[in-house]
Structure 1
Amino acid sequence: MNEHDTTITRRTAISLAAAASSALLPSLPAWAQAAPISRRIPSSGELLPVVGIGTAIIFDFENDKAKLDERAEVIKALVTGGGKLIDTAPSYGKAEDRLGDLFAITGLRDRIFLAAKVRVAGRDETIAEMKASFAKMHVSKVDLMQLHNVRDANQDLALLREWKSQGLSKYIGVTSSFDRDYAAVEATLKREKPDFFQIDYSMVDRNSEERLIPAAADAGCAILTNLPFGRGKFFQKTAGKPLPEWAVKEIGVTSWAQYGLKWLLGHPAINAVIPGTDKPQYMVDNLKAGTGNMPDAAMRKRMAEHFEAL
């Protein structure tokens, strides 16, 4: 799953934070921002920029030219700003269809690291779903194919490995969204050692950090984190509050969104974050979280304590 701000919008949160701490928030044009850093995928050494985008909810629409044009600008902002990772799934409604449209409109497919998913199902069903996804997105292969929401401790990735050997995907991975499945996911990670692991993780949901994230790191997985703002709960807590001056000075944050994303990226096992974004200016803001100094363990602890005290 990917980010969707449900109660307090990000626009409101950014506006309130700016009003409360304008003296601390220097304004930089998009062109002046450095590209986000990249981190190596453990199984290959390939570099992947640390900030991407998820497509749940915000790319799920049809017959809306204004939204399509706006999402095209988001993808352009991602690529122009030095990012490349886009994550999607068949369960995200019309998101795959819209990506197909957007790749045609922008001509940027070759500059995207495309992460797709298939459900846990029988072989024939899984193959059919993969083919349907490729048709919707107008692609013949993806960079990453993930088995979505693993629930069985004995889950194998044989079919995904077949696809990888056939060149249908460059990497394979697994995802999880439910705490009740964590034991099964941990067992699968340790045995199967996929290239990637994706999990929801944020300042408001840290349930995966004690066992799952270390298990994935030990298994040699590149780790992607979704829902970095906890379905808007992060912005509910930070709305109207000034950024701490020490965070502005020491790690260069200029928005609460960057504060939350930099906290994630300060974790040494995290390869990339994939917040959902429906506005190009938010995409630019997210990308800036991947630049400059990253918090060390002590700073991450301080950041979390400050957030919890708000």
Structure 2
Amino acid sequence: MEQRHLGRTGLRVSRIGLGTLTWGRDTDEHDAAELLKVFWEAGGTLVDTADVYGDGEAEYVLGQLIEGLVPRRDLVISTKAGSVADPDRRFDGSRGHLLSALDASLARLGTDYVDLWQVHAFDPHTPLEETLQALDLAVSTGRARYAGVSNFCGWQLAKAATWQLSAPGPRTRIASTQMEYSLLQRGVEREVLPAALDLGVGLLPSSPLGRGVLTGKYRGGTPAGSRGASEHLAPFVAPYLDDTASGIVDAVQTAADGLAVTPLQVALAWVRDRPGVAAPIVGARNAQQLTAALSVETLSLPDEICRALDDVSAPVHHYPDQDWSTL
């Protein structure tokens, strides 16, 4: 699999990443082992997790598979910290919480370091400088090799990345931002992606298949066994089952028919090759799904197909994005 630099850093990652959101909950250790083996044998390196996935079980399962199944040196392990199970405070970006969470992640993963450590979300109750100090400390102590953020809006990302580039003292460049991005969710193109491109931050798209909807599996209803039929994941899928999404899914199917490939391949290739994207994170439920996603490696969409998909899925942006000089 082709490797790409993560933003303006020396870290190279496979251009498709493996997500572990359901590991330790819906995906047991046996299935996780099969997924990781298929991914590694295809040349995949980037494995994405977080301390809250499965209440820590996703990291634990991944840790059990390192070395026993796949050599640690062959993987780029990314984890996140900052989300908390507190109804009064969803995110905690304090230095104390983040560094304690990192130590707990390392223990579950059974490794001395993670390749990429990301702040899971912006915490409005903690000074951003304090949150960023945690990233600096993690890297300077060797517990993380690179650092990034996740779910930061445009101004938050720009502020964090600029602070790290300009504040005095040894600072760790923001290498990545992880955000939802697909043909069904192009909101990052308004401010996040321009900021990332300008500041040399690599984008790691989550839910690149529109929470599974872009595969076309929901065109005839909600299939049994899908995430849309799952009690705890159905609300996650529901927002993309409206008429607007249906038109985009139909366009993806038309493109797939014309290219003699699958809708999954079309949707994934589209987001993978967008400017600024380093590696979409794919959360397959089984090895068959993952193999289908990894088959996109040989596919590049023709320019006319990309333009057609761009047009049919274009988000509506007005002021201040519109070029008012032409009015």
Q: TM-score, normalised by structure 1?
A: 0.75
Indicate which of 117, 137, 143 corresponds to 1:168: 143
**Percentage of matched positions with identical amino acids:** 26
Q: Following the alignment from structure 2 to structure 1, what is the Cα–Cα distance between the partners of residues 33 and 217? A: 30
Question: With structure 2 as the length reference, what TM-score do the two structures score?
Answer: 0.72
Change (3 A) 1:248 1:162: farther
Show the counterpart of 1:189. Answer: 161
Cα 1:237–1:208 shift into 2, 3 Å: farther
Matched, 1:282 2:289: yes
Given that 1:100 and 1:138 are in contact with CA atoms closer than 8 Å, whether structure 2 keeps it comes out as yes
Give 1:214 deviation, angstroms: 1.2
| Other structure's SS at 1:272 match | coil
Q: Matches of 1:231 and 1:286 in 2, distance apart?
A: 14
Indicate the residue corresponding to 2:202 in structure 1.
222
Distance apart, 1:140 and its partner CA: 0.6
1:11-63 CA deviation, whole Å, 9 max, x = no partner?
A: xxxxxxxxxxxxxxxxxxxxxxxxx322223433443211011111x20329x
Aligned AA (2:122): V
The alpha-carbon distance between structure 1 residues 284 and 195, as it changes in their structure 2 partners (threshold 3 A), is same
Measure how far apart 1:144 and its partner are.
Answer: 0.3
Cα pair 2:7 2:203 within 8 Å, conserved = no
Aligned to 1:116: 79
Q: Which amino acid aligns with 2:254?
A: P
Would you say the 8 A contact 2:7–2:278 is kept in 1? no
Give me the whole-angstrom Cα distance separating, in 1, the residues matched to 2:159 and 2:51. 25
- Residues 108 and 210 of structure 1: CA distance in aligned 2, closer, same or farther (over 3 Å): same
- In structure 2, the partner of 1:107 is 70
2:269 paired with 1:302: no
Question: Which residue of the partner structure matches residue 27 of structure 1?
Answer: none
* Distance 1:125-1:281 versus aligned 2 partners, 3 A rule: same
Instruction: Tell me: CA distance 1:205–1:307, structure 2 relative to 1, closer, same or farther (3 Å).
Output: closer
Larger RCO (CA under 8 A, 6+ residues apart): 1
Alignment counterpart, residue 55 of structure 1, candidates 20, 31, 45? 20
Q: What is the match of residue 86 of structure 1? A: 47
RMSD between superposed Cα atoms in Å: 2.7
| Secondary structure of the corresponding residue to residue 174 of structure 1 | strand
| Per-residue deviation, 1:112 | 1.0
Q: Which residue of 2 aligns with 1:140?
A: 112
1:204 aligns with 2:184: yes
Contact 1:238 1:256 in 2 (8 A): no
Per the alignment, do residues 295 and 199 of structure 1 end up closer, same or farther by CA in structure 2, a change over 3 Å counting? farther
Q: In the TM superposition, what is the alpha-carbon distance from 1:305 to its structure 2 partner?
A: 4.2
- The number of aligned residues is 262
1:125 to 85, 97, 100: 97
Distance 2:39 2:197 in 1: 27
